[in-house]
Structure 1
Amino acid sequence: MQRKIEFFKFLLSFLFGIFAFVFWSSIFSGSILAPAIAQIPLISLSNGQSILAEFRAGVDLVSSVPAGLSRSENPLEGTRGVIRGDDRLPVISRSYPWSAIGRVEFQDENGDGYICTGTLVKPDIVLTNAHCAVNPDTGRLFQNIRFAPNLIDGRLKDEDDRANAIDLLAGTDFRDSNEPPHPDDWAFLQLDKPLGEKYGTIGWQALPLPVLINNPEQFIMVGYSGDFPASNPGATASAHEGCSILGSVNDSVLRHNCDTTGGSSGGPILALIDDQYTIVAVNSSEWADPASGAGIVNFATKISRIVEQLQAKVR
């Protein structure tokens, strides 16, 4: 679904955005997933009690790197290639932290498949956007939600590591508003496999807005964009290194200039803090010129907003 709105109105970079809702056939450059996506038990938009239980001891999330998993600051892993005309680089590294970021895959009520991005924050918990699990137009859950960690060129390191979502805790069901950017556009997916034990987890910090603004060109945005790479869109994540947090909207949503398009929704905006990769925001939507398609500014969900809601829920 592609939403057409007038110039200078918010245009969601949900999957519903430009390049966003794409059939698996286009995502895989003409090939389809085989075998067909297996039907999995439907999850319900409940209180996410099994997820909340994992936060009752505290809402702090700390990065972890499994023993034997290499670490690399270079998403290109061993190459020195630069893509001209685009600040994004292909994430072709199997090392941490890139290993902990993956593609969220799901279907609508008609069985059409779409993608978002998510990050392992606990062994069996993925952080993404609410609109990657709940249809903002209907309030209904998407179906067959799965997580593919560290997908590169449409391939996993181990094909058995594609996991199903079995529970959901979302910041909103969009009944209050389905106009982007939504300040509570966040969600946790609980997986049926503890993938973080193998691929690592990335923690978060709720940094004050002045700290974010006063550290320009220090952030990294990672996402499975529907227009990247050109040879196989959405099959490999992209990383924009050196982007900035520009400010906020009504003190509820962050503005940033990291390159993004549909499919990168839910992707982490990272900072290297005390030698640890840390999530400081979650990419969510964009403001674009519908006439030209040119992006004007992008938006992200604040970590402090998620932390506040989590703390209220676990009390």
Structure 2
Amino acid sequence: MSRISLIILALCLGGVAQPALAQEAPLKRLDTGDDGRGWEAVGRLELAGRGFCTGALIAPDLVLTAAHCLYDSDTGARLDHQKIEFLAGWRNGRASAYRFVRRAVVHPSYVQDGAVAPERVRNDVALLELRHPIRNARVAPFATDVRPEPGQRVGVVSYARGRADAPSLEEVCEVIAKQEGVLVMSCDVDYGSSGAPIFTFDGDVPRVVSVVSAMAEVDGRKVSLGTQLQLPLEVLRAELASGGGGTAGDGPFMAEVGQVRETGAKFAKP
């Protein structure tokens, strides 16, 4: 059994009550404009030619994703954030908006070369400031919310291996456990899903409560891991407000609906 499987078993079984899992919904590919309506603020993050992750717009100029997406998975080196591009609502060769990144901050306690353990997962979150805000009525930023409880229904919208050209929605999965700042969820993720937003559906609109950090197995069953978002996000916002994250040139590039783009299908590891 792998190290991560042992860790997850400890999280799930170490004194944490496990609720009965709800009937989970299958992945739904959001291929058409009707299918994807309301989810345009989820997009692909093109990682300087080193693969892609998933990200979500939480303000007109802020994208939330996983910290490890900002590192080269082979060398561990930090990527040049100026070369990272957010493709809002990317679907079948088109995006609702294209933006390059101006600044990027990762949680100060995140360690890229550490083992996949609770202390790494709970800090695996990053905030990207775009060069230009996305002010497009079709791309409405998501609100965030407090951490969900075990047994609570959640969902995920992500790009991944085998579904890189359009996002997929899993509207019903569940929080299995939470411990040491980590959420263990039954959501179906794969390579490329790193940084994907986890949503709750309480109230009228979906709200982001976590981002996908890793995939693993518990007793042969795939699960996903993510941070309990609220406190890490406060840290990242403060870091940006204090001027952190580096600055990029004020490049002229920005485009809206209708521009077609060729993009590769390499994968960043969750």
Matched, 1:118 2:55: yes
Question: 1:227: Cα distance to partner?
Answer: 2.5
Question: 1:237: Cα distance to partner?
Answer: 0.8
Check 1:282–1:196 CA distance in 2 against 1; reply closer, same or farther (3 A cut). farther
Check 1:201–1:238 CA distance in 2 against 1; reply closer, same or farther (3 A cut). same
Check 1:235–1:188 CA distance in 2 against 1; reply closer, same or farther (3 A cut). same
> For the residues of structure 2 that align with 1:138 and 1:286, how far apart are their CA atoms?
21
Q: Which runs of 4+ in 1 moved over 6 A?
A: none
Percent identity for Structure 1 against Structure 2: 25
Residue 114 of structure 2 aligns with which residue?
Answer: 178
Check 1:174–1:279 CA distance in 2 against 1; reply closer, same or farther (3 A cut). closer
Letter paired with 1:115:
F
Aligned-residue Cα RMSD (Å) equals 2.7
Question: 1:133: Cα distance to partner?
Answer: 1.1
Residue 305 of structure 1 aligns with which residue?
Answer: 231
Matched, 1:223 2:158: yes
Length-normalised TM-score, structure 2: 0.70
Check 1:93–1:194 CA distance in 2 against 1; reply closer, same or farther (3 A cut). farther
Residue 10 of structure 1 aligns with which residue?
Answer: 4
Matched, 1:201 2:117: no
What whole-Å deviation, never above 9, does each CA across 1:42-84 have from its counterpart, x for those lacking one? Answer: xxxxxxxxxxxxxxxxxxxxxxxxxxxxxxxxxxxxxxxxxxx
Q: Note if contact 1:132-1:265 (Cα within 8 Å) is conserved in structure 2.
A: yes
Unaligned ranges ≥5, structure 2 = 6-24, 243-270
Question: 1:90: Cα distance to partner?
Answer: 0.6
What whole-Å deviation, never above 9, does each CA across 1:195-234 have from its counterpart, x for those lacking one? Answer: 1544110011123xxx52132xx21111101122xxxxx1
Check 1:124–1:312 CA distance in 2 against 1; reply closer, same or farther (3 A cut). closer
Residue 127 of structure 1 aligns with which residue?
Answer: 64
Question: 1:97: Cα distance to partner?
Answer: 2.9
Q: Note if contact 2:126-2:236 (Cα within 8 Å) is conserved in structure 1.
A: no
Question: 1:100: Cα distance to partner?
Answer: 0.7
Work out the number of aligned pairs and report it: 214
What whole-Å deviation, never above 9, does each CA across 1:166-200 have from its counterpart, x for those lacking one? Answer: 10011147547522252111011111221154411
Q: Note if contact 1:136-1:178 (Cα within 8 Å) is conserved in structure 2.
A: no
Matched, 1:268 2:194: no
Residue 250 of structure 2 aligns with which residue?
Answer: none
